[in-house]
Structure 1
């Protein structure tokens, strides 16, 4: 069935259009993370510390977190297609400049540019997608669009790392820039144009964060992100603790398979079963942590644990952006920008707390302490989700 929204865009579920939008989130996450895969090569060639290369990832995420809300608010009235093309141009320029410059300061500046584009892109593209489909398919649309994030981490990053290691680290950024340009060309011809929206007192960031339902989703976002990224940041240490045959590469492969599988499943069930999906994902993540703690020397159990963890991780972004978008009818970009900022800040907090646990500032812990942190957050989030039936309502 096809119908038209107030902006004039026909609402149908087009796998091609939404798949093209997922390629935007694919290059968005790769633009952020690609330095982490080629960190030694960049450090050696540029003559800087590996920590300085790591900062290129951190400053990107920091720019996204800090400026997402104000930039989304400022650009709310812009045509969505025009804004998307400008953001893709920003991603392309950011990657191309890093590929050719030898100045670390210039790299930092253009990584900030990429982070600013990402800060607008993540909340904008989800809201954009929901305006192209019927209301009862909003969750599926967001799932398809955000699947690019999961595929970028599980497939794209290893491929970009291989390119950087096999050829040259600059080649990885150049190839990524070319991919962004190709996506922009396709977006220009095939993604429908949708008008922007006006900011009002009822859909401003301050008004949105006063809504109890939004606060519940933000709390769930915080707990879930700390649960996942607290240990994901130190996944290499976890693999060492488990003494996993095949090492980090094998662990990420199993994790990626689980993530992709869960994205496919969540696309099918998220609209009709949002709360059960969230509870199931949180419970599955908690079970994975229990397996890691209880059977650290078992290959089979470790494989099962990484697969279950991947299942829990796959729909992480989708679940809560869908939940947020259901709380308001207008300016969904603003609401999802608030959720996106909380998401990014939660990653930083998770990494910080995990580091304190590893350094012994919070007691005599090794990586097990970080796993316990994740388990505790999974349990708390499951309790909150179980008590939030009205907020996590189905379509």
Structure 2
């Protein structure tokens, strides 16, 4: 494997199925909150916590667990995480009380905190230097497809059949993927834990800090609006509705992954500028020309392009700033930044909308994206 690493597409597609199910596990309660409220006899706020506590567990446990498992076999660790994800969904599906369901969600969040950074580092170990970015892009395309296809599919099952059947189905699908990974994925040994791959050392790396800063801007701007996409649709009087908007967004996200796959290993800096610019143009249209329907259609599509490959982009970028034995820990720092800023942004955006308006929120995000564009354009070394 070390001598003749090649880009084996079936392996990375299998790993993409892992991220597909991981993002589905993370977000699936959002589409069935009324069913969860009725089934568990809980309030709307409590049902929302089934998403929030998952994110908190992911953010809090990610860095320490990645750091403490760097010496573990990558394949065995992935299998343990898949079993954890399957168990998480099974627990929620069987839950007879809110506490039981919350425990299941926290288990899933802990697994997610380890999975997102480790699977990118694992994938980069399975190919040669010139295809590392492409490998991460294919692996993380599962998140894009999960948001655009997986969530609607599982939500359909949850609303038309039952929410318990939805979680059981996800648990079974993940268990099946785990079996396929056991037989198909090559093993990669962990790395020795040392000072060079400790979080305290990496946090002093300027390239890592820059990537974390750009990650924060990307997650604040995109998730700050996407979390309240229903409010956006209402604010701009989008007459085609949220379903059509999500379809356009989904097509843009898929195109984003395709573009990233072709460019990410050749010119990451221009790709970053391009993605930030797409989101900038989208939010500018929503802010000033929302009365023109064709421009709004274009804006949702552009937003998808600016959003779709973000995870792959910044996980590849942060891994390039450190030695190979530190890539998993470095991506855990990037992933934790992503999760923490999403949590903070949801509260910040909600406060802006409660006191002011979606227009003001969009204008704030436009200004942040300008900062992201300028910083990315001038980061010739870090985003080479």
TM-score clears 0.5: yes
- Distance (Å, rounded) in 2 between the aligned partners of 1:52 and 1:298: 39
Shift of 1:133: 0.3
Matching residue within 339, 346, 371 for 1:351: 346
**Is 1:300 matched up with 2:294?**
yes
State the shift of 1:55 in Å.
Answer: 0.3
Q: For the residues of structure 1 that align with 2:7 and 2:101, how far apart are their CA atoms?
A: 39
Corresponding residue for 1:383? 374
Native 8 Å contact 2:227 2:346 kept in 1:
yes
Structure 1 residue 372, shift from structure 2 partner:
1.3
Shift of 1:245: 2.2
1:95 aligns with 2:95: no
Partner of 1:275: 269
Shift of 1:373: 2.0
Secondary structure of the corresponding residue to residue 87 of structure 1: helix
Match of 1:369 in 2: 360
Cα deviation, residue 342, structure 1: 0.4
- Give runs of aligned pairs for residues 8-23 of structure 1, distance below 5 A: 11-23=5-17
Q: 1:74, 1:366 → 2: CA distance?
A: 44
Aligned to 1:229: 223
Is the helix fraction higher in 1 or 2? 2
Q: Which sections of structure 2, spanning at least 5 residues, go unmatched?
A: none
2:167 is aligned with 1:173: yes
Hey, what does 2:208 align to over in structure 1? 214
For residues 278 and 203 of structure 1, what CA distance do their matches in structure 2 show?
Answer: 26
Query: What is the aligned length?
Result: 383
Aligned-residue RMSD, C-alpha: 1.0
Displacement of 1:246:
2.7
Q: How does 1:147-296 map to 2 (within 5 A)?
A: 147-296=141-290
- The aligned counterpart of 1:104 is 98
1:4 is matched with 2
Q: Does 1:342 align with 2:340?
A: no
Equivalent residues in 2 for 1:39-188 (5 A)?
39-188=33-182
The Cα offsets for residues 48-80 of structure 1, whole Å up to 9 and x where unpaired, read as 112211100010011000110000011111100
Match of 2:326 in 1: 331
